[in-house]
Amino acid sequence: MAHVSELPTRPTGKVVDRDTTTRIPIEDVRLSAANLSIAFLALLFGGLAGLLQGFVRSGYLELPSWISYYALLTAHGVLLVLVLSSFFSIGYLYAGTSKVLGGLHPKTIGFGWAGFALMSVGTVTAAFFILAGKANVLYTFYTPMQAHPWFYVGLSLIVVGILLNCVGMFITYQSWRKNNPGKLTPLFAFFSNAVFVLWVFASLFIAVFVVGLVIPWAFGWVPTIDPMIGRTLFWAFGHTLVNIWMLTSISAWYVSMPKIIGGKVFSDSLARVAVVILVVANVPGGFHHQILDPGLSVGLKFLHVIQTFMIIFPSLMTAFAMLATMEWAGRAKGVTSLLGWWKILPWKDARFFALIVAMFAFIPAGLGGIINASNQINQVVHNSIWVTGHLHLTVGTTVMLTFFGVSYWLVPFLSGRKMTKVLNRLAIAQTIIWASGMLIMSGAMHINGLLGSPRRTADTTYGGHNAAADWAFYEMFMALGGIILFGAIVLIVYIWTQLAFFAPKGETDFPIGEDFSEKDASPLFMDRWSIWVTLGVISIAIAYVIPLFDFISGHNPGSLPFLMF
């Protein structure tokens, strides 16, 4: 396979006066850095909204009349779940792809900036109507709750911007393949292309929902909307979005972590098979969010549970590959004892420490996902704050700690600066603080969920009922966790600012691991994405054709809007 040791030539465009074996063209740097800047701003403001929201729910804060709990909840979800994750993934994947493919194609730069502009305008538009109290519909914007129509226009601009970035990435990917016949694309580029393929799958569903159904309804051009169609299209997008984050995160685990620990990639073939399964089997998993919905037959729900559980296999493959990578790295250094390789891992390197803590969090997060996807157990936890705790454990801990770990090499790589010892110690402290805050907050959410506490509600006192009184103790811990987490956000923003503008000048590498064995090279047909996309479309058709046909042909009168502003 091709890795950094056999970098191809840049497709086209200028090469700056830098060593291109460690740096990337300046146009690519600017595009990646711009996306990361928006991501960190979204983290700061979205985190603040989450902190205030937690105080309100726990009874420690009463908001002024000009803003509501649900506005904060909507801002928290949109800024962190949609904006932060999208901008960070795009910035990171552009930089890594540029590194392994020798630069982005000039057309990719054009599409990237156009996408960045649309996503930025869309974010500002959506945020304005949220803060103005015109969009208290949460980040899931379930219909028939209705927000101001321009809120949906803002969301649609974000989606169109993402699709433009997809086109740009595909141009670079195909250009490299055309210029390098007979070569397998580098593993990082394979991950990157897979993420953008998932973005296309996800974006098409949400585009049909928002542009085709919600915007005409919100502007009053059509009187009613079918909530079941809306929920089905949203979760085809929403669940895929979760695995877009996960696939982005595990790209760092598979490709960069081996280099950081002084080892090599355990198995290129295993990694690519895991990626393909995630792409092919992912979208139908969205139906497990609708297990309690009416209008879906028991047989259909059983089929979708089976399809959801297919995601377990690449998760287990990843767990095995990560442990094997770490053990082989230790064996290669001469360690012979049973667990001696564990002790010599670079625990004082913030890049590795953030990733390994993220991996630890993935264990309970994955187990929680199995519970949520199980038909019977889901009945118990579905509308409780257990689900919120699971989201914070999966995305808030596993994904975000990986993003933070990536930032510790990506930001100085782009800025031409170096991580200092002081910043490295602060980064390790930030990881501990963030993980502790999430453990406290997410743990309290899980317990309260089992006690019956609902999610998405500002007032959980229920008129002083005894059952509700039992939740107050754990809501205190939810607020405490929120305080700790916001402290960690302030710290990561400080570290990012230092690495971007003030740390000492110097070269920081983007770590790209090599294979243990050249014989492990995957067959060339793994690069034929037409096969995997076709299988993915078939998987989606099996899951969605019947229920969507039933909804459309069911002569459902639809629902009038419930105005949330």
Phi-psi region of 133 (alpha: psi -120 to 50; beta: other; left: phi over 0): left
List the beta bridge partners of residue 515.
265
Asked if 193 contacts 170 with a C-beta cutoff of 8 angstroms, the reply is yes
Q: Classify residue 155: in a domain, yes or no.
A: yes
Considering 197, 225, 253, which residue would you say is the last residue of a domain? 225
Considering 225, 255, 271, which residue would you say is the last residue of a domain? 225
Q: Running DSSP on this structure, what letter comes out for residue 374? A: S
Question: Region 291-302: what's the mean pLDDT?
Answer: 82
pLDDT in tens, 355-380: 999 999 999 998 998 888 888 888 88
d(C-alpha 559, C-alpha 460), whole Å? 28
Number of domains in the chain: 2
- Indicate whether 18 pLDDT > 80: no
Backbone angles phi, psi at 319, to 5 degrees: -60, -45
Domain that holds residue 350: 346-509
* CATH assignment at residue 413: 1.20.120
The contacts of residue 310 (CB under 8 Å, 6+ apart) are 277, 281
What's the one-letter identity of residue 6? E
pLDDT in tens, 38-74: 999 999 999 999 999 888 888 888 899 889 999 999 9
Question: Region 203-216: what's the mean pLDDT?
Answer: 94
What is the pTM assigned to this prediction? 0.92
Residues 357, 221 share a domain:
no
pLDDT in tens, 68-94: 999 999 999 999 999 999 999 999 999
pLDDT in tens, 448-460: 999 999 988 887 8
CA distances from 164 to 113, 202, 222 (A): 9, 14, 29
Q: Classify residue 219: in a domain, yes or no.
A: yes
Confidence of residue 14 (pLDDT cuts 50, 70, 90): very low
Tell whether the torsion through CA atoms of 341, 346, 347 and 350 is positive or negative: negative
Residues 359, 219 share a domain:
no
Tokens of 191: 């991950």
Q: Classify residue 418: in a domain, yes or no.
A: yes
Q: Classify residue 286: in a domain, yes or no.
A: no
Considering 482, 509, 536, which residue would you say is the last residue of a domain? 509
Q: Classify residue 301: in a domain, yes or no.
A: no
The contacts of residue 139 (CB under 8 Å, 6+ apart) are 74, 76, 77, 78, 81, 82
Q: Classify residue 317: in a domain, yes or no.
A: no
Q: Classify residue 97: in a domain, yes or no.
A: yes
pLDDT in tens, 542-565: 888 888 888 888 767 789 998 877
Give which of 293, 328, 291 is closest to 307, Cα–Cα: 291
pLDDT in tens, 370-426: 888 888 888 889 889 999 999 999 999 999 999 999 999 999 999 999 999 999 999
Q: Classify residue 173: in a domain, yes or no.
A: yes
